[in-house]
Amino acid sequence: MQIAHMSDLHYCPENLAEADRCFGFAVDDAIRKNADVAIISGDSTDHRLDAHSPALLALARQIKRLADHCPVLMLQGTFSHEPFGMLRMLELIGAKHPIAIADRIGQIGLTDERQWKLSDTSDINHNFKLVVTCMPTVNKADLALMVGAENASAEMGEHLAALLGHFHESNSAYRRLGIPTVLTSHGTVDGSMNETGVPMAGLDHEFTAGALFSSGADACMLGHIHKHQAWRRDFDGNHQVIAYPGSIGRFHYGEIGEKHYLLWTVQPGFADFDAVVTPSRRMIDIEFMGIPNLDEIATVAKDCAGAYVRVTYKVDEEYAKTVDRNAIKQILGSCAEVKIVGEILSVQRQRCAGISRMPSIIGRFTKWCEVTDTSAAGLTDRLQLLQTMDPEDIASQIVRAEPLELKLAA
Ligand SMILES: [Mn+2]
């Protein structure tokens, strides 16, 4: 059985072009390669969308294209990205094949007639072609009511591990009957790596790879983490695989690697996938500690043509005005987008009470040297020179190497 697995589409007005180009590509590819089933593992939208928004319509159109080719299963993702209940509307799309919405924990089977059917784990159905265990995003608030808010994060992992183990029996039974099994979920695997390369390690993650394998499913198709990665296990004669396709497109600066959708081959006791690269946009970061170097930007400008480019810099307050943002934009004129982000490092000033009321500049300067621990040696003399002579005269005296003549003010 071939299963197209897409995830984290994040449709919204801001992402529309990127999400639709990449998801559209994946749908085309899955149809062309004749996938038997498609699973979308959460975060189909980025935030709540109005029914009349072009982004929701574009998503619905792609889902219809997919469901005109094969049965589709959509999993509930993170609630803030995908308001609970929203996916239920997509279930109403009239396509050749059914669209199942998985927003509750449980098993769902694909029948002989290519229909989705909810299944009770205690009632093994010999006629299923595929069985999918669905673990949509779980509501931590529900768990907090039972175990207390302070324990909810850590307890979540324990509860999910117990639950995953509970499905082992039915998944094993299906495997013995020659029926492939899949688990689909949306959450963080402890030890996974996020899209910017940061390892996710901690106690409050939804699962461990071990807990997912213990479900006994041949393939674990996950969503939530936007970087593609996989885990494999050979155990008891079976080859199990867990994988995130990662987000379908590139939605933020700093995301490393290519973007993918996965075309799985799942058989009872064996799983594997092809990671198909989607045409995600290029996003390039150019960073400067200090004033952006225009020559340096000019040397990379050609390689940045057509890409989304972010120039970031950190400068001290007094140099902030010397950054020529327009020049940067001009040099990078062939880019699809140029974003300039400057961080101004503010100079720490120590308060020095009464300094502004001191009558002479020399007095204020001496006081400032005291407060900032600066040696005044030689400096007060020079300050006096500046106060009494023209800069040109000072300079010509230095050039002639004549000893400077102090004309001290009274
Ligand atoms: Mn996501």
Q: Give per-residue pLDDT as tens, 365-400.
A: 888 888 888 888 888 888 888 888 888 888 888 888
> What local confidence, expressed as pLDDT, does residue 103 receive?
93
| Distance in Å, CA 317 to ligand 1 centroid | 37
- Give the model confidence (pLDDT) of 64-100 as tens digits: 999 999 999 999 999 999 999 999 999 999 999 999 9
- Give the model confidence (pLDDT) of 186-223 as tens digits: 999 988 999 988 888 776 678 889 999 999 999 999 99
| Distance in Å, CA 246 to ligand 1 centroid | 8
User: What is the pTM for the complete model shown?
Assistant: 0.81
Query: Which residue would you say has higher pLDDT here, 309 or 353?
Result: 309
> What local confidence, expressed as pLDDT, does residue 363 receive?
86
62 dihedral zone (left: phi>0; alpha: psi -120 to 50; beta): alpha
Tell me what percent of the residues of the chain surpass a pLDDT of 90: 66
Quick one: pLDDT band at residue 410, thresholds 50, 70, 90? very low
> What local confidence, expressed as pLDDT, does residue 204 receive?
67
Quick one: pLDDT band at residue 182, thresholds 50, 70, 90? very high
Mean pLDDT of 256-279: 97
| Distance in Å, CA 144 to ligand 1 centroid | 23
Strand order in the sheet with 337-345: 283-289, 308-316, 337-345
| Distance in Å, CA 185 to ligand 1 centroid | 12
Q: What is the dihedral of CA 389, 392, 393, 399, to 10 degrees?
A: 140
CA distance 366 to 371: 9
Helix/strand/coil percent split, the chain, to 5 = 35, 25, 40
Residue with tokens 């001009």: 330
- Give the model confidence (pLDDT) of 126-174 as tens digits: 899 999 999 998 777 777 877 787 777 777 888 888 989 999 999 999 9
> What local confidence, expressed as pLDDT, does residue 395 receive?
87
Quick one: pLDDT band at residue 296, thresholds 50, 70, 90? very high
DSSP letter at 137 equals P
* SS3 label, residue 313: strand
So what's the architecture of 2-277 in CATH? 4-Layer Sandwich (3.60)
| Distance in Å, CA 315 to ligand 1 centroid | 34
> What local confidence, expressed as pLDDT, does residue 385 receive?
85
> What residue ranges in 151-307 does DSSP mark as E strands?
181-186, 192-193, 199-200, 219-223, 229-235, 238-244, 260-267, 270-277, 283-289
Q: Are the beta carbons of 78 and 186 closer than 8 angstroms?
A: yes
| Distance in Å, CA 193 to ligand 1 centroid | 14
- Give the model confidence (pLDDT) of 100-121 as tens digits: 999 999 999 999 999 999 998 8
> What local confidence, expressed as pLDDT, does residue 406 receive?
59
| Distance in Å, CA 43 to ligand 1 centroid | 5
| Distance in Å, CA 224 to ligand 1 centroid | 4
With 70 as the cut, is the pLDDT of residue 349 above it? no
- Give the model confidence (pLDDT) of 240-256 as tens digits: 999 999 999 999 998 99
> What local confidence, expressed as pLDDT, does residue 102 receive?
96
| Distance in Å, CA 223 to ligand 1 centroid | 7
Mean pLDDT of the chain, nearest integer = 91
| Distance in Å, CA 225 to ligand 1 centroid | 6
Sequence letter at residue 30: A
| Distance in Å, CA 365 to ligand 1 centroid | 57
Quick one: pLDDT band at residue 23, thresholds 50, 70, 90? very high
Q: How far is CA 328 from CA 300, 311, 342, in A?
A: 12, 9, 12
| Distance in Å, CA 78 to ligand 1 centroid | 7
Q: Are the beta carbons of 362 and 331 closer than 8 angstroms?
A: no
